[in-house]
Amino acid sequence: MLAMIGQLRSTVIDCPDPRALAGFYSELLGLPLIGDNSDDDEWVVLGGPPGHQPRLAFQRALDLRPPAWPDPERPQQFHLDVTVDDIETAEQAALALGARRLPGEGEGFRVYADPAGHPFCLCWD
């Protein structure tokens, strides 16, 4: 086993409006806002204290060029896989929050974009 150099603190997502995108993911994933780790509208954190997973952070990037799924000229950069019990119910809830369906799906997953254009997948077993 390799020695651990560090521990994942947060996954950070660049976006034009951190508070709005954090609100989307708070509702989608049921993660609370961490007020004492957030800095107005420049940096917003969801989850638990450092060392408790999962943690998502959102930082302001005013000139962000969102990915254009599945165009390789503007790749996805990263994506989140979100496990759900009922894909139809989860899809309706995600769309109601501002997600949009993207082309592409496979056995056990469908692809969406969050309100800032980042791809994510709803997955089921």
For 15-64, the pLDDT digits (tens) are 999 999 999 999 999 999 988 777 788 999 899 766 677 789 899 998 88
Kindly indicate the confidence band of residue 83, based on its pLDDT and cuts at 50, 70 and 90. confident
CA nearest to 120, candidates 15, 25, 33: 25
Residues in CB range of 59: below 8 A, 6 or more apart? 12, 13, 14, 15, 18, 42, 43
Other Cβ atoms less than 10 A from the Cβ of 34: the count is: 18
d(CA 113, CA 43): 21
Give the residue among 44, 72, 65 at the shortest CA–CA distance from 56: 44
Q: How many angstroms separate the CA atoms of 60 and 15, rounded? A: 5
| Lookup result for tokens 């390799």 | 2
Task: Give the sign of the dihedral formed by CA 112, CA 118, CA 124, CA 125.
Answer: positive
Question: pTM of the entire structure?
Answer: 0.79
